[in-house]
């Protein structure tokens, strides 16, 4: 994919993803009026967890607590039980408590809007920090998860080895107007059509733009 073709790719993706369910963190953002704290907690819950499980765990948790102070009042064992069976639920419960304590002690209960600050919190990587900053605060950022990393490289739009490297390269290559929406476009496409193994290339509307880098088998 050449640089100038990214505009056509985005137009196609906007149309194509309408048939699939929106990623859970985006749903939480809309339902909570883009509350940065709920977005942060939802993203932590979603890591290495299916969207349905994340949504159910989030619904249970947010019915009990929607602020750092309220969440910190939940005993750790109870918090673990509420968010089970999300992946690494014990580790995530501990991280949530630590995050809430620090938010109260250092930030007056307000989630910071800086990626550099957010990544200093336990359990918060650049993907999570970018999601909070972009959909929570509407500030520029590019959330790069495994789908964004894989598809951007598969297209031949970038050539990188890790999601972290992809974010830095995309910050130079991707037009800024697409930064915030890029993750929302590529995640459902990667979950449903541009699969890691044997992607559904026969039904993909981007085949003329895609270099199919690394694709050895497709359907």
Enter the tokens of residue 200: 């559904």
- The one catalytic residue in 145, 159, 205, 211 is 145
**How confident is the model over 163-173, as pLDDT tens digits?**
999 999 999 99
- The one catalytic residue in 35, 92, 127, 184 is 127
**How confident is the model over 15-59, as pLDDT tens digits?**
999 999 888 999 999 999 999 999 999 999 999 999 999 999 999
Alpha-carbon gap, residue 188 to 173, rounded angstroms: 22
Write phi, then psi, for 175 (nearest 5 degrees): -55, 135
Please state, for a pLDDT cut of 70, what percent of the chain lies above it: 100
Instruction: State whether residue 60 is helix, strand or coil.
Output: helix
Told to judge if 33 belongs to the known catalytic residues of this protein, a careful annotator would answer no
Q: How confident is the model at residue 182 (pLDDT cuts 50, 70, 90)?
A: very high
pLDDT at 148: 97
Told to judge if 51 belongs to the known catalytic residues of this protein, a careful annotator would answer no
Domains of the chain and any CATH numbers: 3-21+141-203 (1.10.1670.10), 35-124 (1.10.340.30)
């Amino acid at each position: 994919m050449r640089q100038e073709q990214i505009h056509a790719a985005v137009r196609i993706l906007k149309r194509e993803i309408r048939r699939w369910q929106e990623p859970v963190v985006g749903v939480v953002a809309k339902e909570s009026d883009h509350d940065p704290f709920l977005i942060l907690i939802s993203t932590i819950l979603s890591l290495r967890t299916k969207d349905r499980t994340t949504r159910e765990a989030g619904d249970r948790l947010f019915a009990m607590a929607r602020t750092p102070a309220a969440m910190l009042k939940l005993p750790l064992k109870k918090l673990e039980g509420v968010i089970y069976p999300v992946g690494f639920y014990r580790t995530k419960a501990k991280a949530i408590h630590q995050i809430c304590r620090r938010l109260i002690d250092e930030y007056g209960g307000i989630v910071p809007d800086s990626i550099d600050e957010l990544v200093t919190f336990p359990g918060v990587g650049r993907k999570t920090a970018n999601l909070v900053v972009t959909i929570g605060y509407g500030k520029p950022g590019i959330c790069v998860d495994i789908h964004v990393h894989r598809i951007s490289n598969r297209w031949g739009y970038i050539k990188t080895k890790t999601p972290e490297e992809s974010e830095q390269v995309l910050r130079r290559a991707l037009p800024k107007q697409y930064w915030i929406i890029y993750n929302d476009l590529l995640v459902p496409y990667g979950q449903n059509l541009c699969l890691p193994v044997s992607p559904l290339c026969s039904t993909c509307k981007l085949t003329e733009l895609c270099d199919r880098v690394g694709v050895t088998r497709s359907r």
